[in-house]
Amino acid sequence: MDESPIEAFLSALDVLDLDAAMALMAPEARVLVADGRRAEGAEAVRQLFGDFLGQLRATTHRITARWHEADAWIAEVDAGYELRDWLQLNALPRVFIARVGAAGITDLRVYGAHERQLSEHRTGEEGMWIAARWVPPL
């Protein structure tokens, strides 16, 4: 694979193309995403990616640094997401690590801060803490 597999993978995500993303994955691929979910094997990986893409209206990824050594590819990425409910999350730092074999990406790991799933965000309906005082929703 001459092009960075991470770059190709992110390009597929940025057009929300599950089939293109899966075409880059080896049948025995293992995936770990920033919120801690894992998948192993084509069916489980497709389900994980499908769940992720199903939350989105749009996504962008900008690679800010990259490295390649033997079968390992590493990229620092700024990610942006627009969720189905129109919430926008921008400039989220990510690190992607991919190992590649003859059949495609065999191992993909995505790291960020300890995060929840994108769809698990506060709506404001649950109130908030301000200066150690609970403020209920209006």
Domain housing 71: 5-135
Report which secondary-structure segment, H or E, holds 98.
strand 88-101
What are the backbone angles phi and psi of residue 2, rounded to the nearest 5°? -75, -45
Strand-pair category, 104-111 with 25-32: parallel
CATH at 43: 3.10.450.50
- Token pair 């080896």 is found at 26
* pLDDT digit string, tens, across residues 42-92: 999 999 999 999 999 999 999 999 999 999 999 999 999 999 989 898 989
* pLDDT digit string, tens, across residues 17-53: 999 999 999 999 999 998 889 999 999 999 999 999 9
Q: Per the structure, how many domains does the chain have?
A: 1
The span from the CA of 92 to the CA of 89, in Å, is 7
State residue 1's pLDDT score.
Answer: 43
State residue 23's pLDDT score.
Answer: 98
The span from the CA of 21 to the CA of 47, in Å, is 12
In this structure, are residues 138 and 131 in contact, taking their beta carbons and an 8 Å threshold? no
Q: What angle do CA 81, 41, 48 make, to 5 degrees?
A: 25
